[in-house]
Chains A and B, each alone.
Chain A
Amino acid sequence: MQITVTVNGAERTLDVEPRTLLVHMIREDLALTGTHIGCDSTSCGACTVLYDGVPVKSCTLFGVQADGREITTVEGLLTAAGLDPMQAAFKEHHGLQCGYCTPGMMLVGKVLIETNDHPSDDEVRQAIGGNLCRCTGYMNIVKAIQAAAAERRQPAAAEAAS
């Protein structure tokens, strides 16, 4: 089936078999391997992408469902100006160790701080409740997301403090 999907801002037309999961379409047909496959059973969130701006598990959606929709993957965070503030915060605050869950964590974090620029520990932990990390104990992930939120609130102050 031929579909057209906007991926990280660029319109792409491709032919996919209906049973192809979105995550396979992204990794194999679109060659964007920043989106990971973890549990393949809707538990871990390593495959998180933004589907019309909403974080979803791309292992539990068919590629054909994305026809006419917008998909943002972790590759879409990078801009011409460099790292997205969320990526910069994960780097600065050691929000990753092995990095496997990181694309999903950053995408969920990005959506969270769009509507809540001062999330509490509990709010961050609730938001990332669908994303598993097996390295960090979550401490630095929470810190990184809160730092990106602080940057969003007061870009200058965050810069002066760092």
Chain B
Amino acid sequence: MLPARFEYHRPSTLEEALALLAEHGDDAKVLAGGQSLIPMMKLRFAAPAHLIDINRIEGLDAIEETDGELHIGALVRHNQLAGSPLINEKYPLIAAAAPQIADPLVRNLGTIGGSLTHCDPSGDLGSVMLAANARVVLRSNAGEREVAMTDFIVSTFQSSIEPTELLTQIHVTSPTGSYGGTYLKLERKIGDYATVATATRLIVEGGTIATAGIALTSVGLTNIKATAAEDSLIGKAPSEEAFAEAGRLAAEASSPVTDVRGSEAYKRHMVEVYVRRGLTRAAEIAGAA
């Protein structure tokens, strides 16, 4: 399958890339890992007149902690995330999700910035970053803004990024004290989209839950942040009952549809089961089980 014709641009600096976006805006697409964009172009769901390849821009692929925040560069590949000592040591939710994204070859190219901007409701990192209360940094010639993930995701395949903007970084507040998290993914085989997946995260202070993050993959029009389920846990001690109740509330927040991967009822049930199990695992990691 051959994509439609386009003009290829390969900026070597961020400034060049932003200038190209300012000039071509609506008619342009940014090429990062290309693992979703190129298939869309082959199917002609996307036919940009200009393709701006940002792969040669230096400095967009760092993973580092600064002033109590984790900063992940937009060009960080999924396998880089999976292999990062910092992520594996301190960010168990991200560490659990990264090696479950797509398949090993796709993970060698696919990037976090591309994955988030794509806003696929079956995308794993969207849920991870919703559960982590992440912010994305959007940069244009006019300046920079930080947008919460909840405001960034607008609809299926639609984010609130402006055509002149480039997502450059993802920010996550570094956890302190007792914390844990995990990503549970039900899939038919490696590389398939999730039937259901859940991102769960807990910060426990003085025996009670101070922060809870719960988000759902493949069970709605977007990745869903299960806020009622999160709120139900605040101030409670980690317990089987509390996690079961959060699971029920998360299932209520989901709106799966019946397809080849399973029925609506089955998927909703699996949301409940996976949220409960994921929270239990998060509490174990936090040492609060």
Contact = CB atoms under 8 A, between A and B. Distances in A.
Interface residues of B, number: 27
Nearest to B3: A19
Given A1-B8, A60-B109, A65-B53, A130 B104 contact: yes
Interface stretch (A35-43, A87-95, A139-147): A35-43
Q: Which of B35, B53, B108 has the most CB of A within 10 A?
A: B108
State which size class the interface on A falls in.
20 to 34
A108 B38 CA distance: 22
B46 interface: no
B5 A19 contact: yes
A18 B51 contact: yes
Contacts of B103: 45, 129-130
Contacts of B35: 42, 60
Contacts of B53: 64-65
A21 B282 CA distance: 43
A56 B51 CA distance: 20
A55 B79 CA distance: 12
18 contacts: A18-B6, A18-B7, A18-B51, A19-B3, A19-B6, A40-B1, A41-B42, A42-B106, A43-B191, A54-B108, A55-B105, A56-B108, A57-B106, A57-B109, A61-B38, A61-B109, A62-B38, A65-B31
Given A19-B2, A127-B104, 10 more contacts: A19-B3, A19-B6, A21-B2, A40-B1, A42-B39, A56-B105, A60-B38, A61-B38, A129-B103, A130-B104
Closest 7 CB pairs of A and B: A130-B103, A18-B8, A129-B190, A130-B105, A19-B3, A60-B38, A129-B103
